[in-house]
Amino acid sequence: MRYLVVGAGGMLGTDLQQVLAGREVVALTRSELDVTDASATAEAVREADVVFNAAAYTKVDDAESNEEAAYAVNATGAANLASAAAAAGARLVQVSTDYVFDGGANEPYAEDEPLNPVSAYGRTKAEGERAVLAAHPTGGYIVRTAWLYGQHGPNFAATMLRLAADRDTVSVVTDQVGQPTWTLDLAKQLVALVDSDAPAGVYHGTNSGRASWFDFAREVFRLAGLDPDRVRPTDSTAFVRPAPRPAFSVLGHDAWSRVGLSPMRPWQDALADAFGTGALGAR
């Protein structure tokens, strides 16, 4: 089996390479493969058996004024990869996002919930999903994730640790709820998905449970040996941004059980392991 990791320089792409160590892997960073170039993408995919697309335009606020640029990567790029994978007979794992939903739910979003993005970033990722499923219905996997943190890129947990070194207290919102997800756990789940020969379709790749950003920050402080009471509660009105954030981003995991795979473990366990292995600093 030959594996292609696209977007190999990011948090998830780097962890995918770690999980795939010992296998035949080609890892291409953004500078090495422009997924908006259809011919270059087709050439890169031509000899692959499995393609992981971890490339994305993830600057959520910038996408509000640069939606065309975000669309080129998140939608056109995904379509190019799906068409190339279908032509090569390869399976494609397209990493998507909770932002394809509007955040107005009270219960976890099911995998077949209708999409209703409310931001430019969400719209472009939703179009990417549709493009993959249309171009490669028998070999396209959509895996939605959210609230990613890890060792190899900027993320919320790392930001909290940096702020803790500079400030006595930090204010974090309590009115946005989701699922903190370790990129190494997600990488393992994506590889397990393709190893299992599960059917193509939509899956939700987040650690289990739920938390507010405030809960997440307090747990980061606790695991770092800091006083969690230094994290102070606030709400979203204190942090007005160009792109709206989903208030509720909890994703359901029923699809895993239907294909005989276990959902990802609770977010608290993953975060503890991230600290224990040094991915976020010494515990």
What pLDDT, in 10s, does the model give residues 20-77?
Answer: 999 999 999 999 999 999 999 999 999 999 999 999 999 999 999 999 999 999 999 9
Half-sphere exposure of 273 (CA within 13 A, CB side): 12
**Does residue 262 register a pLDDT over 50?**
yes
**Angstrom distances, CA of residue 232 to CA of 2, 93, 185, 247:** 48, 38, 29, 19
Averaged over 158-177, what is the pLDDT?
A: 97
Averaged over 159-175, what is the pLDDT?
A: 97
- Tokens 């909890």 locate to 250
72: Cβ contacts below 8 Å, ≥ 6 apart: 36, 57
Half-sphere exposure of 251 (CA within 13 A, CB side): 31
How would you class 104 by CB atoms within 10 Å of its CB: exposed for 0-12, middle for 13-18, buried for 19 or more?
Answer: exposed
Averaged over 157-178, what is the pLDDT?
A: 97
Q: Is residue 130 part of a domain?
A: yes
| Domain, as residue range, for 28 | 2-154+179-209+250-265
Q: Is residue 137 part of a domain?
A: yes
Q: Is residue 166 part of a domain?
A: no
Q: Is residue 91 part of a domain?
A: yes
Q: Is residue 116 part of a domain?
A: yes
**Does residue 282 register a pLDDT over 60?**
no
Could you say which of 3, 57, 99, 121 is catalytic?
121
Averaged over 98-116, what is the pLDDT?
A: 98
Q: Is residue 33 part of a domain?
A: yes
Averaged over 174-203, what is the pLDDT?
A: 97
Using CA atoms in the order 45, 47, 52, 55, what is the torsion angle rounded to 10 degrees?
A: -30
CB atoms within 10 A of CB 121: 27
Model pTM?
Answer: 0.97
Please give the share of the chain, as a percent, with pLDDT higher than 90.
Answer: 98
The pLDDT tens digits for 94-104 are 999 999 999 99
**Does residue 173 register a pLDDT over 90?**
yes
Phi-psi region of 266 (alpha: psi -120 to 50; beta: other; left: phi over 0): beta
Distance between start and end Cα atoms, the chain: 37
CB atoms within 10 A of CB 149: 26
Q: Is residue 257 part of a domain?
A: yes
Q: Is residue 271 part of a domain?
A: no
CATH number at residue 195: 3.40.50.720
For the chain, how many structural domains are there in total? 1
CB 120 within 8 A of CB 75: no
**Does residue 283 register a pLDDT over 50?**
no
pLDDT band for position 273 (cuts 50, 70, 90): very high
The yes-or-no answer on residue 121 being catalytic is yes
User: d(Cα 182, Cα 274) in Å, to the nearest integer?
Assistant: 7
Cα radius of gyration rounded to whole Å, the chain: 18
Angle at the Cα of 80 from the Cα atoms of 50 and 70, rounded to 5 degrees: 110
